[in-house]
Chain A
Amino acid sequence: MGLQKIDFVETRGNIVRDCPGTKNHICCGYKTIDLIEGCVLSCSYCILKEYINAPNIKINRDMPYILSQINETIEAEKTHILRFGTGELSDSLALDRRYGLNRPLIEFFGETKKALLELKSKWASIDHLVPYLNPYTVISFSLAPQRIIDYEEKRTSPLYKRLKAAKKAQDSGCFVGLHFDPVIIYEGFEKDYEYLIGDIGRILDLKKVLWVSLGLLRFPPRLFDRFLEEGRKNLLYGEFIRGEDGKYRYIKKERLKIYRMLYGLLKRQEEDLFIYLCMEREDIWRGITGLTLEDNEALTGLFDNRIKNLYGGNI
């Protein structure tokens, strides 16, 4: 899988950071762990290549330092239940079977019991982690109709494998996360998402889904030119505008329509699902969920409540 060279580094400095989010949009207060920089999966819409100015994949293997940074961050937080993830600058699982990077993290969060680790992936390989999984690790998969996986996520696991791996994680005592991100408009996408969400309802225990995110395709302007050059019909099918953050995103009318459709389909499967919008405007939040979120803090509060409801006093 992949031809990119792997560089092992021992970077000092801020390994744990606030998720950058995007300006003038509601963000969830996620913490990122820069364990790996770069990704072997090479999805066509991936913005990592725009952000990471290096051809090789960097793996930070100084685990004691990384754990100390995470611990410091957890200890410094007095208000919220922190959520950490390694999937911001890479895929959390794609290289894990080969390099065993997640095991010490999973064990650390399981012992600490004060925060959650989310392993977010499109690569359905968790068998090697199953013996170590505990409720403080959330196994999450990005989900998309198989047509999008076939055309735009060519090196990733097929949908059925992702769902199978998510089920396995649930059976191993973990909560799972589901990320419909990026949702892509293409001819017939509505029906495909309807089937996809139906499959999820049949395969997974939706009571053990900690969170579901919805995020429509958005990207920096330079990617628009690349999509044109590569003739990415699926990615360019919808109608884009430049958002307040400078990124291209679908026009608001479309965003509202699609969020409403997905939100409705998911809620029909399980009324109690915790669904959040990734990097969206306050008015879109209100239009879809009926919730008025004044700021990022309000969304972080919703996450706190969700976690407390499911974990009780165990966190």
Chain B
Amino acid sequence: MEILMGFFFILVIVSAVAVAELRDLLAAALALGACGFFVGILFFLMMAPDLAIVQLIVEIMMVVVLVIALARTHRKSSEPESAKTTLALGVIVACVFILFSVAVVPLMTEFGSPQYNPEVSQRYIDEGVENTGSQNLVTAVLLDYRAYDTLGEIVVLFASVLGMSLVLRKVSKRMAEGKECL
């Protein structure tokens, strides 16, 4: 299990580097999809099947949205920053990575050990089924204990689609003539 997880973590990072470095935006979007699928598999390996389902379906949607957007714009990525700036920023990001991995990660609890704050989660695990009548504790937390969170989330979704309707209000000439974008 450990080796399998490590393998998929490496795949996630490799595809993330591909996303950052590919010059073709369509290829980078597909690499982003691959990265999301590996993240979904990792969720499944870490005992979160609900999350795996949501991540896989949302990832498909995200790739489709990006492909439609690229069809409406163009495929070729613009030039990155100059070589000197790239090197300087890369060194800064690498320094931040090394600093955090040396200073912060050793302070965190060991991977797979019982938790930092067990009280809340332990209460949900112990009493969740009697309190809510839901065997799936994730749904119990999502729609019963913390329904306010879900309310806030669906309001955010509502507002973002409202924003899209405002931003994409003006239709380009080709589409106004009734042609389809792809």
The yes or no verdict on A and B being binding partners is no
